Copies of this chain bind each other. A is one copy, B any other.
Amino acid sequence: MSKYADIAQNIRHEIKSGVYAPGTSLPDQKSMAANFHTSRMTLQKALDLLKTEGYLYSQQGAGTFVKYNADSLVNMDIGVDQYVGTTELLGPKHKVDSRIVSFNLRYPTEIEQEKLALSATQVIYDIVRARWVDDEPYALEYTKMPVELIPNIDETVLKQSIYQYIENTLGLQIGSAFRRIEARRSTLEDIKQLNILPEDPVLVVTNIVYLADGRPFEYSKTHQRSDKSHFSIFVSGRTHEPH
């Protein structure tokens, strides 16, 4: 743990435990740095962290303040790690399993070539899985991945988590993700697999997921039951007051 992360942890704790109440200002950087036995530069890096996390904001010339909604952040289950697969998102409290609807190898369509940065003859997996949570259908996943980048996928892997296979077995690092979320009427396949009524809509999430070095490895569409799923995001604004 680096020193500034340590200091940030400390201040975070002080905010949560009420030492610094929302809306009040922190001591000035110079004396805080002295308290933590560090330079002002290091302290500032710690404060920067807390600003991007949404706990603090500062105003040049006036001071550094605790945001009024700092304590409500504690109750939010959102992080940068939102890209993790369904398995990890739901946690160990629930029983999650995947039923493979179909699993094929084929050449990519033009759209798939574009999204996955492939040529016309680089083979992809075309996977359709129904995700069940606590013995109820939850989502229908249409996943496309390049074979070259993610080799040796078989039914055993599909029944577990593909993400864990990529990180642990292949040793690749998952990076950022691009997502598009929309509401759609359910298709016949949705009605059948998700056990819903024709008038129930689905939440369609289109994902393009990249490795840490930026190579795309997954292009997927997930049809989620609208009564069982939603998306939450926290959009953090500017950390400084604009001048």
Contact A213 B83 (CB under 8 A): no
Give the interface size bracket for A toward B. Answer: 35 or more
The distance in angstroms between the C-alpha atoms of A46 and B32, with both chains bound, is: 26
Contact A201 B175 (CB under 8 A): no
Known: A212-B57, A238-B175. A231 touches B182 (CB 8 A): yes
The distance in angstroms between the C-alpha atoms of A215 and B66, with both chains bound, is: 11
The distance in angstroms between the C-alpha atoms of A212 and B236, with both chains bound, is: 10
* A147 close to B (CB within 8 Å): no
The distance in angstroms between the C-alpha atoms of A226 and B203, with both chains bound, is: 10
Contact A54 B233 (CB under 8 A): no
Q: Which residues of B contact A211 (CB under 8 A)?
A: 68
Interface residues of A in 154-181 (CB under 8 A from B): 173-181
Which one of B117, B178, B184, B237 contacts A76 once the chains associate, using CB atoms below 8 Å? B178
Known: A180-B230, A203-B182. A237 touches B83 (CB 8 A): yes
Contact A176 B68 (CB under 8 A): no
The distance in angstroms between the C-alpha atoms of A180 and B82, with both chains bound, is: 14
Contact A213 B182 (CB under 8 A): no
The distance in angstroms between the C-alpha atoms of A65 and B65, with both chains bound, is: 36
Contact B175 A67 (CB under 8 A): yes
The distance in angstroms between the C-alpha atoms of A239 and B229, with both chains bound, is: 29
Interface residues of A in 196-241 (CB under 8 A from B): 198-203, 210-216, 226, 229-238, 241
Contact A237 B68 (CB under 8 A): no
The distance in angstroms between the C-alpha atoms of A226 and B184, with both chains bound, is: 7
Question: Which 9 pairs, one residue from A and one from B, show the smallest C-beta to C-beta distance?
Answer: A67-B214, A201-B201, A68-B214, A183-B183, A182-B230, A183-B226, A175-B237, A69-B214, A183-B203
* Chain A residues in the interface with B (C-beta under 8 A): 22-23, 54, 57, 65-70, 76, 80, 82-83, 117, 173-185, 198-203, 210-216, 226, 229-238, 241-242
Q: Could you list some 29 contacts between A and B, CB below 8 A?
A: A23-B213, A57-B175, A57-B212, A66-B214, A67-B175, A68-B117, A68-B210, A68-B211, A69-B176, A69-B215, A83-B235, A173-B241, A174-B237, A175-B237, A176-B234, A179-B231, A180-B231, A180-B232, A181-B232, A182-B203, A182-B231, A183-B183, A183-B184, A183-B203, A184-B226, A198-B199, A199-B199, A201-B201, A212-B238
A-B contacts besides A181-B231, A185-B199, A199-B199, 16 pairs, CB < 8 Å: A57-B213, A57-B214, A67-B210, A69-B214, A69-B216, A80-B238, A83-B235, A175-B238, A176-B234, A178-B232, A179-B231, A181-B203, A182-B226, A182-B229, A183-B183, A212-B241
